[in-house]
Structure 1
Amino acid sequence: MQVIKVDDSLAVLLPKKLVDELGIKEGDDVSVLSLAKDAIAVQKAATRAEFLKQIEPLRFPLPADYKFDRDEANGR
C-alpha cells in the first residue's frame, strides 16, 4: 500500500483486492487498528443499521401500557 498526502493529512491507498474483500466503497467508514509498532488492521466500520441489528438481542419487551412522554422525559 502507498501513503499519500491529502491536504494536511496522510492517506493510505488500499489495493482493489482488499477493497472487494471488505466490501467497502467510497464514503464508507473504516476502522484502522494498530496491532503492533509495524502492523495495522483495516476493517469496515459497522453502519448504524448493522449496529442496531447486532444489539437487537439485547432489547427487552416494554409493558403493554407503556407510552413515551417526551415532555415528562425532558422535564426539569
Structure 2
Amino acid sequence: MQLARWGNSLALRIPASIVELLGLKEGDDIEVNVAGTHRFEIDRDRSREKLVERMRMLRKPLPAGWRFDRDDANER
C-alpha cells in the first residue's frame, strides 16, 4: 500500500482483496486501530449499527387506536 496526498491530508488506498473481505463500499465508515509499532487493523465502523440497535431496544408500542394527526401536532 502507498500513501498519497489528498488536499492537506494523506490517504491510504485499501487493496481490493481487503475491500471484498470486509464487504466495504464507497462511503462506508471504517475503524482503523494501531496494532503495533508498524501495524494497524481495519474493520467496518459498527458504531452506527450499535446505536440503531440500542434505539430499537428503547422503542415502545403505541397505544391501541392511536393515530398521528398533523394538525394537532403543529398546534401551538
TM-score band, normalised by the shorter chain? 0.5 to 0.7
Which residue type is aligned with residue 26 of structure 1? E
What do you get for the CA RMSD once the two structures are aligned? 2.5
Bigger Cα Rg: 2
The runs of at least 4 consecutive aligned structure 1 residues that moved more than 6 Å come to none
> 1:13 aligns to what?
13
* Structure 1: 5+ residue stretches without partners: 63-76
> 2:33 aligns to what?
33
TM-score, normalised relative to structure 1: 0.65
Render the CA deviation track for 1:17-72: whole Å, top value 9, x for unaligned.
10011111111110110011100001110152x2133x48xx4797xxxxxxxxxx
Give the % identical residues.
29
Which residue type is aligned with residue 30 of structure 1? I
Tell me the matched-pair count.
61
* Structure 2: 5+ residue stretches without partners: 61-76
TM-score, normalised relative to structure 2: 0.65
